[in-house]
């Protein structure tokens, strides 16, 4: 039986991994700490590591994994921007979960839009204090409005379908358009200028880092809604705050944040928040922040557990690693598998 060090464990993770792991002849060593160069020593004697999106998998962390003889890292997430792949190549196989439930994330994005538009979060707080005034709660019909979708992978396409179900017009930007689709693709600048709601559904890369920056906000309509359920660093948080303060951005729904590692997934309610930008955003009535929970459905959690264990099982059984991410590939995240169905 293989022993796997499972970092940054949460109660909802254990439910599904505990149920499925025995079927893979694996046992989990659950570790509450996030994975980094200091905590990786807790995996001593284990056969592999399971990590998450906010773990720090840098050169030092990978070097220590290598010295302990750990050759496989299974990310229980789709994103992998927290991994130093240059250091990992030839030492540690990095596996991921490319799709767990596009519906979970896309539905959460629409939930943020609906809550912000109809002010349901504010109404909830009022009515609990027996305040049933409707002043300040006016929204608008989504029907006929234009949704601008940046990124048309699986999640983006599901979100497009949801928007169309509300009668919205949809335009999209993606440097790699979905072939054979009926999606109305436009340039990024045109999308920024036309959209009433802009929703991000793209990975974080060098090209997409701060895709919404000062210039991008200057091109947007006054009153535009910004939704981000992808990666925090897609948005320049300082530029976003400035646009909200100037009343140029009408509302913001964030499930991710540029510097979320210190706060998200943890209870820090008894601490003073040192991130002034996040604190200012949280104080604003037209900003709704959720703590990276868009993925959190039963279906998604089960799919994450099953795919993660499938990935590890394939590695230990010498099978092809369909979900391996390789630094040496022609396109990061889409492995050419030139080395006997593995990256090395």
Of 154, 260, 306, 324, the active-site residue reads 260
Residue listed under structure tokens 């017009």: 169
Whether 292 is a known active-site residue: answer yes
DSSP bridge pairs for 212: 235
DSSP bridge pairs for 31: 7
Of 93, 292, 306, 324, the active-site residue reads 292
Q: Which residues contact 4 (CB under 8 A, 6 or more apart)?
A: 21, 26, 27, 28, 29, 46, 47, 48, 49, 50, 74, 312
DSSP 185: B
Q: Which residues contact 87 (CB under 8 A, 6 or more apart)?
A: 58, 59, 62, 63
CA distances from 144 to 61, 80, 151, 170, 271 (A): 50, 36, 21, 10, 44
Let me know if 37 is exposed, middle or buried by CB neighbors in 10 A (0-12, 13-18, 19+).
middle
Sign of CA dihedral 123, 128, 132, 135: negative
Whether 298 is a known active-site residue: answer no
Residue listed under structure tokens 């608008």: 140
Residue 255, both tokens: 């499930």
CA distances from 172 to 49, 200, 249 (A): 37, 10, 19
3-state secondary structure 243-254: HHHCCCEEEEEE
Whether 339 is a known active-site residue: answer no
Residue listed under structure tokens 């509450």: 32
Of 231, 258, 306, 324, the active-site residue reads 231
Q: Which residues contact 218 (CB under 8 A, 6 or more apart)?
A: none
- Side by side, the strands of the sheet bearing 2-7 are 26-31, 2-7, 48-51, 72-75, 93-95, 324-325
Residues marked active site are found at 231, 260, 292
């Amino acid at each position: 039986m293989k022993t796997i060090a499972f970092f940054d464990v949460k109660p909802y993770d254990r439910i599904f991994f505990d149920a499925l792991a025995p079927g893979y002849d694996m046992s989990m060593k659950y570790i509450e700490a996030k994975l980094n160069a200091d905590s990786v020593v807790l995996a001593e004697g284990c056969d592999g590591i399971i990590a998450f999106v906010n773990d720090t998998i840098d050169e030092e962390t990978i070097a220590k994994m290598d010295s302990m003889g750990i050759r496989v890292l299974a990310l229980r997430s789709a994103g992998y921007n927290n991994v130093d792949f240059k250091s990992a190549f030839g030492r540690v196989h990095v596996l991921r979960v490319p799709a767990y439930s596009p519906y979970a994330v896309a539905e959460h994005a629409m939930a943020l839009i609906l809550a912000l538009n109809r002010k349901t979060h504010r109404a909830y707080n009022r009515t609990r204090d027996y305040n049933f005034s409707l002043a300040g709660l006016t929204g608008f019909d989504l029907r006929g409005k234009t949704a601008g979708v940046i990124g048309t992978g699986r999640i983006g396409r599901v979100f497009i379908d949801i928007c169309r179900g509300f009668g919205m017009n949809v335009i999209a930007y993606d440097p790699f358009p979905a072939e054979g689709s009926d999606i109305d693709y436009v340039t990024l600048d045109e999308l920024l200028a036309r959209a009433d709601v802009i929703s991000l559904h793209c990975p974080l890369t060098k090209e997409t880092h701060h895709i919404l920056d000062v210039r991008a906000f200057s091109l947007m309509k006054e009153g535009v809604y910004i939704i981000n359920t992808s990666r925090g660093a897609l948005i320049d948080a300082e530029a976003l705050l400035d646009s909200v303060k100037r009343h140029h951005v009408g509302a913001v729904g964030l499930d991710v944040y540029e510097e979320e590692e210190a706060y998200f997934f943890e209870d820090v309610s008894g601490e003073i928040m040192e991130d002034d930008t996040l604190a200012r955003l949280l104080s604003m009535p037209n900003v709704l922040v959720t703590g990276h929970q868009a993925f959190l459905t039963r279906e998604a959690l089960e799919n994450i557990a099953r795919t993660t264990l499938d990935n590890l099982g394939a590695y230990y059984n010498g099978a092809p690693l369909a979900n391996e991410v390789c630094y040496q590939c022609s396109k990061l995240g889409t492995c050419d598998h030139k080395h006997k169905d593995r990256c090395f």
